[in-house]
A = this chain, B = another copy of it.
């Protein structure tokens, strides 16, 4: 089996590349280094089952040439802008990197007859409507970030291509993912601020924003485990039941940096920034029933990641 991993030099994508190689796949990794890095795939130099293309996946002709040359069996679409704060200032980032990459990959699959797809979607498609009762099918989708909007758009066009071309499509909607090779986010921000000035920690919002953080290895294990699905779209919420508040992240960072008694200064307000969903949790019973649960809790994932970053 030959897998094409779109965004394979990125944070999650590069871990998926490692996992697919371990499963015996040939892997074609495509990335434009917009967020992904050469560092993330350097350890694969010389691996005979690994091929890399530097290519912007929103460019149709260049991407089609790779499909025609490589003829993959399975596409794992991990390419996207993952920095919601950045695109809040420039929404066209999401148009190009999140939505257009999806449409181009789907059309390349259609033209070259590729039938198997994994798509990395997000809890951000739900917007602010999340709650323990919110399952995959039961809810109107009202994203409040450009990222969530572009991912919902991707799901929409994936639904159409899947129906029209009898694709076998797996879609995971997952929340914040953390772990080795992470590039940005609240853990980074806190470590950076405390290294620059360990006298206090500035925290956006009221600190009670609370989210489930999933460890990247847990997520990648689920992708690999569920990758073969029947014709149609198979959709799972994937995450952890537990959550970690922003204040708790601050405490863990201080603890791991050996900083005791640092005062936390809150900017106030409900959310960290506009487009951020301050509190969420969603129904994971479908994937739990299918036999998968994350190994690490949200707090454990945060603590492990802080150790890597500090």
Contacts and interface: CB of A to CB of B under 8 A. Distances in A.
A251 interface: no
Given A99-B157, A149-B161, 8 more contacts: A91-B110, A95-B107, A137-B140, A145-B163, A148-B156, A149-B158, A150-B160, A152-B152
A164 B88 contact: yes
Interface string A91-110: 11011000110010011001
A153 B99 contact: yes
A48 B142 CA distance: 40
A91 B159 CA distance: 13
Most interface-central of A144, A158, A160, A275 (chain B CB within 10 A): A160
Nearest to A160: B149
A273 to B, nearest CB: 10
Interface in A139-180: 139-161, 163-164
Report the 10 A-B pairs with minimum CB-CB distance, sorted nearest first: A153-B153, A149-B160, A152-B156, A149-B157, A144-B163, A137-B140, A149-B156, A153-B156, A95-B103, A142-B159
B142 A233 contact: yes
A1 interface: no
A246 to B, nearest CB: 21
Contact of A146 (B100, B146, B160): B160
B159 A144 contact: yes
Contacts of A139: 140
A161 B146 contact: yes
A138 interface: yes
Nearest to A137: B140
A171 to B, nearest CB: 11
Contacts of A147: 160
A292 interface: no
A160 B211 CA distance: 20
Contacts of A221: none
